[in-house]
Amino acid sequence: MSESSGIVELQGVSKRYGNIDALRDVSLNIPKGVTGLLGPNGSGKSTLIKSLLGLLHVQTGHGRVLDFQWPRDARIIRDHIGYLPEDDCYVAGLVGIESVTLMARLSGLSSKEGLRRSHEMMDYCGFGEERYREVESYSTGMRQKLKFAQALVHDPPLLILDEPTTGLDPDQRLAMLRRIRNLATEHCKSVILSTHILPDVRSVCDHVVILVGGTVRVESSLEQLSRPAEPTMHVSTVNDPTDLISRLQTAGYTVHQDTESYGLRVEGIEQKNASKIWELAAETNTGIRRLEPAVNSLDQIFMDVATGSSVTPASMVAEADDACS
**Interface contacts to ligand ATP, rule CB under 6 A:** 17, 20, 22, 39, 41-47
Closer of 48 and 135 to ligand ATP (Cβ): 48
The minimum distance between CB 176 and ligand ATP, in angstroms, equals: 19
The minimum distance between CB 136 and ligand ATP, in angstroms, equals: 25
CA 70 → CA 10, 65, 320, distances in Å? 8, 6, 20
The minimum distance between CB 262 and ligand ATP, in angstroms, equals: 37
* Strands laid side by side in the 263-267 sheet: 254-257, 263-267, 232-237, 288-293
Helices 140-152 and 111-124 cross at an angle (nearest 10°) of 130
The minimum distance between CB 59 and ligand ATP, in angstroms, equals: 13
The minimum distance between CB 325 and ligand ATP, in angstroms, equals: 30
Spacing of C-alpha 115 from chain mean position:
30
Closer of 46 and 232 to ligand ATP (Cβ): 46
The minimum distance between CB 104 and ligand ATP, in angstroms, equals: 28
Residues 6+ apart with CB under 8 A from 48: 13, 23, 26, 37, 211
Closer of 22 and 280 to ligand ATP (Cβ): 22
Angle made by CA atoms 173, 175, 180, in degrees to the nearest 5: 95
Closer of 17 and 171 to ligand ATP (Cβ): 17
CA nearest to 294, candidates 224, 220, 222, 227: 227
CA nearest to 313, candidates 233, 216, 231, 206: 216
CA nearest to 318, candidates 241, 178, 230, 222: 222
- Given CA atoms 296, 301, 303, 309 in this order, what sign does their dihedral have? positive
Closer of 35 and 43 to ligand ATP (Cβ): 43
Task: Report whether 89 contacts 150 (CB < 8 A).
Answer: yes
The minimum distance between CB 142 and ligand ATP, in angstroms, equals: 23
* Structure-derived torsion over alpha carbons of residues 155, 159, 161, 167, reported in degrees to the nearest 10: 30
Closer of 57 and 187 to ligand ATP (Cβ): 57
Element (H, E) at 83: strand 81-84
- When computed from its CA atoms, the radius of gyration of the chain, rounded to whole angstroms, is 23
Closer of 52 and 235 to ligand ATP (Cβ): 52
φ, ψ of residue 23 to 5 degrees: the values are -130, 130
φ, ψ of residue 69 to 5 degrees: the values are -75, 135
Closer of 205 and 274 to ligand ATP (Cβ): 205
Closer of 149 and 209 to ligand ATP (Cβ): 209
